[in-house]
Copies of this chain bind each other. A is one copy, B any other.
Amino acid sequence: MEQPKANRREVQKAETRILILESARKLFKTQDYDTVTIRGVAALARIGLGTIYKHFPNKLSLLAAAFSDDLKKLYQDAMATVPDNQSFQTQFIHISKRFFTFYTTHYSLSRAYLSHMFFYEQEWLDEINDFDDSYAQKMAELILAAQDRGEINPEKDCHILALALMSNYFFVLANCFLRGKMTDPDKLAALLETLVEQTLL
């Protein structure tokens, strides 16, 4: 059964949504989260203030939507460039460093995105958790391969190990915001590497 062709209303609504997202991305990328106002986004998009709320339930969701394509792309990019012929630790640090670079490059935006994570609408929470699960699964696969190579103790559960490594990663990322704006991805990666060595031994 062919999906019905979008009617004019649906087309226009989608166009308005794109306008909003483009304007939001522009403002969120160049200003602090708190400085960006819904009024500002509406003005830049040349739409009514209330229209934003026809598309997004709140400012946070707008931020998440504006950000989510970047993150998906980043994830795919990081995974596509994982070096095959290196140790798991090198692989893991490579992936993590890609994220550190993104987050530190967009400091204010990332701070807002990450810190409000607990308050996202369920829809976004589901998406974030799916992403985390997918990431953990990918890590588990890389760990399994490393175990087959005899690089990591095969008695360790690769899924649990993946979660432990993820927690190391999030801890380091959190410290980026908690401790004097640590904005060098290399330093973050180095700290993570220190933690990871303890976990992998």
Could you tell me which A residues sit within 8 Å of B by CB distance? 111, 114-119, 125, 128-129, 153, 156-157, 160-161, 163-164, 166-168, 170-172, 174, 177-179, 194-195, 197-199, 201
Contacts and interface: CB of A to CB of B under 8 A. Distances in A.
A156 B168 CA distance: 16
A168 B164 contact: yes
Given A129-B178, A156-B201, A167-B171, 16 more contacts: A111-B119, A115-B116, A115-B117, A115-B118, A117-B178, A156-B198, A160-B194, A160-B198, A164-B195, A164-B199, A167-B167, A167-B170, A170-B170, A170-B174, A171-B171, A198-B199
A196 to B, nearest CB: 8
A103 B125 CA distance: 20
Given A115-B115, A117-B115, A156-B201, A195 B167 contact: yes
A171 B199 CA distance: 14
A132 to B, nearest CB: 8
Contact of A178 (B125, B157, B164, B172): B125
A201 B195 CA distance: 14
Contact of A153 (B115, B164, B201): B201
B198 A157 contact: yes
Contacts of A174: 117-118, 170
